Amino acid sequence: MLNNKTILVTGGTGSFGKCFTKYVLKNYNPKKIIIYSRDEFKQWMMANEFKEYQDKLRFFIGDVRDLARMKRAFVGVDYVIHAAAMKQVPACEYNPNEAIKTNIEGAQNVIEAALDSDSVKKVVALSTDKAVNPVNLYGGTKLVSDKLFIAANAYAGEKDINFSIVRYGNVAGSRGSVIPFFNSVIKNGGTQLPITDYRMTRFWISLTQGVELVIKALEEATGGETFISKIPSFKITDLAEAMMPGCEKPEVGIREGEKLHEIMVTVEDSMTTYEYDKHFIVYPQMVWNNRQKPNMSGKKVPEGFSYSSDNNTEWLTVEEIRELLKTVDLEK
């Protein structure tokens, strides 16, 4: 699937981009991986980290806000993975115009560049649970981004190209999430771990699982699907217990823009959601041509079904969380 292909990753110097690059280089033989991002220092750092693969890697300075630059970068590219985004909730709330320019206008630029390209065949965009019933600006911009990528299939016409989405929550250990926060409290000698709400739950997904979901979308998407992994849930109180056994856990109140639970599939989505062995697919409600008509070979979920971290059937115990924490590489 990825052998002898040229793949471009927007925001490629981030945690996902580095994990995706490492995974693909280890398991496939791509023609080239292009890292498209705007931070030259991070590109330099990544180039040093992947020095043994320098013949397979290209680093392209550019911003998703710059359509002309992106069109130049897309020349000869087969697959595009769109990972660039402003994702820190407080930063998006304080800088709404910047969030819109990157997360919405940037998404449209990716679509325009791909549609105008003579080579791009597949585009997979990374989404988030926060785009489902959004309560903050970040989630709102990602909801619009998702809708743009789904609708992009209507503009493909007879071109051999499709656009799809993968959706997951906070990756274990990612910047701004609860694990590095608890870890910093412990490292600084704290004796208690504050819990915003005792009822709070989250999904557990690793970077590698996120990468594997993207590759599944590349392999299977026909246009407009949203791919969602089946992953276990955990309680934030259990995470605290796993990281600092027996500690005090004061309840401090939910933060602005925060949700009690991560939602992946809504009741409204259930009308077009199918279940597979290791994932769900939410198919588009509107199909614009027969070539992109989805193959609904899975099992349709019952009407009224929803998939969120509080109604999951698979839960991690404190001991299981403690073991998984040993595999977490905290983002610097």
Q: Give the range among 14-18, 287-291, 302-306 with minimum mean pLDDT.
A: 287-291
Helix/strand/coil for 287: coil
Contact 163, 155 (CB under 8 A): no
Buried b (16+ CB within 10 A) or exposed e, 227-244: bbbbbbbbbbbbbbbbbb
Spatial contact of 263 and 132, defined as CB atoms under 8 Å apart = yes
Torsion sign over Cα 271, 139, 15, 218: positive
pLDDT for residue 39: 95
| Residue pLDDT, tens place only, 305-330 | 999 999 999 999 999 999 999 988 77
Alpha carbons 213 and 132: distance in angstroms, whole number = 18
CA 313/CA 316 separation, integer angstroms: 10
Q: Name the residue among 145, 73, 157, 60 with its Cα closest to residue 102.
A: 145
Assess whether pLDDT exceeds 60 at residue 244: yes
* 3-class SS of residue 1: coil
Mean pLDDT computed over 50-70 = 97
On whether the pTM is more than 0.75, the answer is: yes
Note whether 81 and 19 are within 8 A (CB). no
Compute how many other C-beta atoms are within 10 angstroms of the C-beta atom of residue 26.
Answer: 8
Tokens, residue 304:
């009224």
| Structure confidence at residue 1 (pLDDT) | 87
As a whole number of angstroms, the distance between CA 250 and CA 241 comes to 12
| Residue linked to tokens 């599944």 | 216
User: Residue 332 pLDDT more than 60?
Assistant: no
Give residue 75's pLDDT.
Answer: 97
> Residue 18 catalytic?
no
pLDDT of residue 41: 97
3-class SS shares of the chain: helix, strand, coil, % to 5? 40, 20, 45
pLDDT in tens, 177-217: 899 999 999 999 999 999 999 999 999 999 999 999 999 99
Q: Which two tokens stand for residue 57?
A: 């890697």
pLDDT-derived band of residue 258, with 50, 70 and 90 as boundaries? confident
Q: What is the mean pLDDT of the chain?
A: 94
Q: Which CATH number fits domain 6-169+206-230+263-308: 3.30.70.260, 3.40.250.10, 3.40.50.720, 3.40.50.970?
A: 3.40.50.720
Active-site pick, 18, 87, 122, 130:
130
Stretch among 175-189, 240-254, 264-278 having the lowest mean pLDDT = 175-189
Q: Residue 97: pLDDT above 70?
A: yes
pLDDT at 47 over 80: yes
Q: What is the mean pLDDT of residues 45-56?
A: 95
